[in-house]
Amino acid sequence: MTSTIIFWLIAIIIMGSALMVVLLRNIVHSALFLVVTFVGVSGLYVMLQADFLAAVQLLVYAGAIAILLVFGVMLTVRGDIKYSNLFNRHKFTAGVVSLGLFLLIERIILSSDLLISNKPALESTVGPIADALLTDYVIPFEAAAILLLVAMVGAILLARGEGKPQ
C-alpha cells in the first residue's frame, strides 16, 4: 500500500518534470528539470531493489550527463536564452510520431511474457556486483579503465584540435 503511494508520487514527479523539459522555453530550466527526472528514475530503481543501479543513475545521469548538458548549452547558446527551447511548426508531426512510438512500446510490453523469478530479491546488489567484478570479471574491469582512458584522450584531442599548440 505504502509502496503504491510512493510509486505514484515518484511517477507524478517523473512525468511532471519530463513534461516541463519539453514545455519550458528556457533550455537551462529544461536541463534542470531533466535532472529532477533522472533523480525520480533513480527512486524507481530503489523501489525495484536495484540499489546499485540507483546509485549509478544518480552519479552518472544526474551528475555527469546533466553537467555535460549544461556545458553544451553554455557553449552553443545563441540569441535570447529565454526563448531557446521553443516549439517549431512540426509540433503535430512530432505528437503523432511520439504517440505511435508509445503505442508500439506499449504493445510490445503487453504482448511479451516477462519472466518473473521466484527467488526473493537480494538484500543488496552492490556486494555481489563487487565480488563478480573483482574476481571473475577482472579483464573486462581493467578493459573498462582502458576504454575510459581512450575516451578521455579522444575527447581532449577532439576538443583541442590536433597539432595546435596552446
Considering only 11, 12, 22, 56, the residue that binds another protein (CB under 8 A) is: 56
Phi and psi angles of residue 28, each rounded to the nearest 5 degrees, phi first: -70, -40
Per CB under 8 A, 142 contacts another protein:
yes
CB of 14: closest distance to another protein in angstroms?
Answer: 14
CB of 21: closest distance to another protein in angstroms?
Answer: 19
Per CB under 8 A, 123 contacts another protein:
yes
Alpha helix positions (H), 24-65: 27-47, 51-56
d(CA 125, CA 135): 16
Q: Which is nearer to another protein, 1 or 110 (CB)?
A: 1
Cell numbers for 70, please give them: 549544461
Considering only 6, 20, 32, 44, the residue that binds another protein (CB under 8 A) is: 6
Per CB under 8 A, 101 contacts another protein:
no
CB of 149: closest distance to another protein in angstroms?
Answer: 4
State the Cα torsion 131-52-28-148 to the nearest 10°.
Answer: 10
Q: Quote the Cα angle for 124-137-146, to 5°.
A: 110
Per CB under 8 A, 87 contacts another protein:
no
Residue 63's H or E segment, with its range, is none
